[in-house]
Amino acid sequence: MTNHTEWHSTGCILCSTNCGLQVQTREGHLIKIRGDKNNPRSKGYTCEKPAQLDRYQNHADRLRSPLRRTPDGEFEEIDWDTAIAEVSNRLDQIRQKHGGDKIMYYGGGGQGNHLGGAYSSATRRALGMRYQSNALAQEKTGEFWVERQMFGARPEPDFQSTEVAVFIGKNPWHSHGFERARVTLREISKDPERSMIVIDPRRTETADLADHFLQVRPGTDAFLLAAMLAVLVQEDLIDHAFLNAHTKTFRDLKPILEEIDVAAYSKRAGVDPEHTRAAARRIGRATSVAVLEDLGIEMAPHSTLNSYLEKLLYVLTGHFGRPGTMNVGTHLGKLIGTGSDNRRSPVGGHRIITGLIPCNVIPDEILTDHPNRFRGMIIESGNPVHSLADSPRMREALDALDCVIVIDVAMTETARHADYILPAASQYEKTETTFFGGGFPEHVFQLRQPLFEPMPGTLTEPEIHSRLCRALGAYRDVDLSELKAAAEEGGESFARTFSATLAERPNLAAIMPVVLYETLGPRLPAGQQEAALLWAACQQLAASEEESVRRAGLDGTGPALGQALFEALLDHPEGVVISKDVHEVSFQRLQTEDGRIQLVIPELIEELQALADEAAPSQDDAFPFVLAAGERRGNTANTIYRDPAWRRKDPEGALRINPRDAARVGVAPGGRVRITTKRGALETVVEITDTLQEGHITLPNGLGLDFPDERGERKVCGVPPNELTSSEDRDPWAGTPWHKHVRARLEACEPGPL
């Protein structure tokens, strides 16, 4: 086994920021971990969480052999040849009997790994699968839907140089979401010329640094954002020159915002109208503003409307396409699907956005006798039984399928419901990367190289998909011989043969990732065969964004530039700048019909206008609390760390509650409560804190995982939040869940025996 006694570059896989790390290893363990100063984006920064990464790499529940469910519901080990043959056979049977479109794909990547999903497209095409979903369809699809209509692109905030940073339902102190978050937050907070605006019902660590903290009542952001937009229009803080140049329909929007009663809407949101005005004026008068929304508004009532209003805040004030504002960057590889948004889910007719079926309706697309229902599922790098709304119903749905295949590194809540479990090499045992944003104007990409050999018994996802495609008859060795020969000749010759082959042979074009893996892959340095697919992504980026790529210092034109880019990725496992943009390019990247920003989304305008008549929520006596089910804290990391021992403080993940509520419920610090929602009831420990307003309670995300203790007894530590959520509580447009707004009641528990 290779030991890295020297520092070795890799990356953090615990959140989408993917900070660069340097590590030392010994006998399969990560023994020393520090930030990597050579990563051009994170520059040595990390938070507290990656220190424990060996708990991801090595733990009791890592999978070490393919497993098959036995008739008595247990699992038995099988070898890989049997697993591949039986899995492809079972899926092919569904295809032949019901059609490949009855097999659904879920997942494809987490916070640190997106190559599996990219290679899976070959297996999906080989089986004729048409429908997929992943965690983005329970958080970001509402925002995507809005962005597609307004911009046809995805603008990203530049907090490094902005004058005014705005966070809406986002706590970057803990959840990050952009590079070097804590450093940047402190810099903005200390600088008297710069300001921070935070909209959150809880006084978060980020709110503590803010100049304007609007402590909104949970679930009423639409009112507050509408009031802020109304201030901008009513006080004429609008950038008319920008709107004239880049939009068309302000005159349709203006009267709607002019009518809004700022005082009444602010009060409805629990915010002093003067605070609303002050924050809006700060945005209206700033030279630059950057805005980031996240789960606090995306998983709450009016979620898609919230995303629309959030974007109007910066568009009406012209904070787009300049330093410190919102810009549209380049991307190597695709995180978000393309294609039309006109498709609907096969049973319920739910809107498919960026190619994804809303997570909340997946059980409805299975638990029915509708002829188009799903019959099988491939779940890769996702834990939907734990992470999607309504865990009991998700378990029922998986059990109703003819065949469930899970590809994962660990025995998860979801894997327990599989017919076959295929064990993957971990993210430190293969070449991996993510397609999350790498920044603007300089875009950084990191292709991480393996620290360890794949654990015996595991395979990388590209290898799994290649074997599945072969077993399904999607390719034979002879089909690839010409390309293999061309790969030996290298660069230009391979590029030519590759385009010619794909143009002539649609069946190979359909499984392109696997073709690259099998032909170019073996020519790559040892352990980096999985990088092959990125060769195509590099060629594409070099062709579409030649100037930006050359500005990053890469030479050549056409395929030679693509090749140079690909080699840069292989040569720089610490991360490398792959493109440099000028800000004006943001306007050229608008992909709307007329190339302008669209100000009016008719459906959402209707929802905005209907706010005026929306009844205030009644004090629901059965469920008087609003539970935010799934808060990010310093000791949560989705379900990537399964061993609860990584949480030294607060191992169980306490329910947070305001002191006056705690007194009313009759619970003391460290006491226990029973929390009940319309879906379920569970017990938990409490933490009493005045950072929460009365009536608002929170539970951390990612807890309640099933893991063996020191004696090997399986235990669930903490509350699995989705035992308490319902799939019908969701946004009407995007189907995204309202996890931040779960009605609940609390009762103090008798102190239990210790």
Ligand X SMILES: Nc1nc2c(c(=O)[nH]1)N[C@H]1C(S)=C(S)[C@@H](COP(=O)(O)OP(=O)(O)OC[C@H]3O[C@@H](n4cnc5c(=O)[nH]c(N)nc54)[C@H](O)[C@@H]3O)O[C@H]1N2
Q: Which residues bind Mo ion (CB under 5 A)?
A: 139
Question: Please, what is the minimum distance in Å from the beta carbon of residue 323 to ligand SF4?
Answer: 24
Three-state SS for 257-300 is HHCCCHHHHHHHCCCCHHHHHHHHHHHHHCCCEEEEECHHHHCC
Do 23 and 427 form a contact (C-beta atoms < 8 A)? Answer: no
DSSP label at residue 553:
T
> Which of ligand SF4, Mo ion, ligand X, none does residue 170 bind (CB under 5 to 8 Å by kind)?
ligand X
Nearest to 484 by CA among 541, 532, 543, 449: 532
Site string for ligand SF4, 164-193 (x = CB under 6 A): ------------x-----------------
631 near ligand X, rule: CB under 6 A: yes
Question: Please, what is the minimum distance in Å from the beta carbon of residue 169 to Mo ion?
Answer: 13
Work out which of 636, 676, 726, 727 binds ligand X, going by CB under 6 A: 636
Distance CA 320, CA 460 (A): 41
Work out which of 8, 9, 10, 19 binds ligand SF4, going by CB under 6 A: 19
Instruction: Say whether 32 sits in a helix, a strand or coil.
Output: strand
Tell me which stretch binds ligand X (CB under 6 A): 76-84, 188-196, 369-377, 402-410.
402-410
Distance CA 408, CA 423 (A): 5
219 near ligand X, rule: CB under 6 A: yes
Question: Please, what is the minimum distance in Å from the beta carbon of residue 576 to ligand X?
Answer: 22
**Count of CB atoms within 10 A of residue 710's CB?**
7
DSSP label at residue 403:
E
Nearer to ligand X, 8 or 696 (CB): 696
Do 305 and 608 form a contact (C-beta atoms < 8 A)? Answer: yes
Tell me which stretch binds ligand SF4 (CB under 6 A): 13-21, 156-164, 330-338, 739-747.
13-21
Do 389 and 729 form a contact (C-beta atoms < 8 A)? Answer: yes
| φ, ψ of residue 22 in degrees (nearest 5) | -120, 140
Work out which of 11, 20, 35, 116 binds ligand X, going by CB under 6 A: 116
Nearer to ligand SF4, 181 or 608 (CB): 181
Do 725 and 388 form a contact (C-beta atoms < 8 A)? Answer: no
Tell me which stretch binds ligand X (CB under 6 A): 73-81, 124-132, 270-278, 422-430.
422-430
Can you read off the two tokens belonging to residue 613?
A: 């008549």
DSSP label at residue 348:
T
DSSP label at residue 752:
P
Burial (Cβ within 10 Å: 0-12, 13-18, ≥19) of residue 267? middle
Work out which of 168, 515, 576, 578 binds ligand X, going by CB under 6 A: 168
23 near ligand SF4, rule: CB under 6 A: no
The separation between the first and the last C-alpha atoms of the chain, rounded to the nearest angstrom, is 44
Tell me which stretch binds ligand X (CB under 6 A): 165-173, 281-289, 568-576, 617-625.
165-173
Nearer to Mo ion, 139 or 661 (CB): 139
Do 596 and 587 form a contact (C-beta atoms < 8 A)? Answer: no
Q: Which residue has the tokens 């010409």?
A: 482
Tell me which stretch binds ligand X (CB under 6 A): 117-125, 277-285, 424-432, 538-546.
424-432
> Which of ligand X, ligand SF4, Mo ion, none does residue 19 bind (CB under 5 to 8 Å by kind)?
ligand SF4
731 near ligand X, rule: CB under 6 A: no
Tell me which stretch binds ligand SF4 (CB under 6 A): 42-50, 165-173, 340-348, 666-674.
42-50
Put residue 540 in one of left, alpha, beta given phi > 0 → left and psi -120 to 50 → alpha. alpha
Distance CA 704, CA 270 (A): 33
DSSP label at residue 434:
-
Site string for ligand X, 177-216 (x = CB under 6 A): ----------------------xxxx-x-----------x
701 near ligand X, rule: CB under 6 A: yes
276 near ligand X, rule: CB under 6 A: no
Distance CA 561, CA 549 (A): 8
Residues within the interface to ligand X (CB under 6 A): 15, 110-111, 113, 116, 135, 138-139, 168-171, 174-176, 199-202, 204, 216, 218-219, 221, 294-297, 300, 380-383, 387, 407-410, 412, 424, 426-427, 461, 628-632, 636-640, 701-702, 721-722, 725, 739-740
Residues within the interface to ligand SF4 (CB under 6 A): 12, 14-15, 17-19, 46-47, 49-50, 176
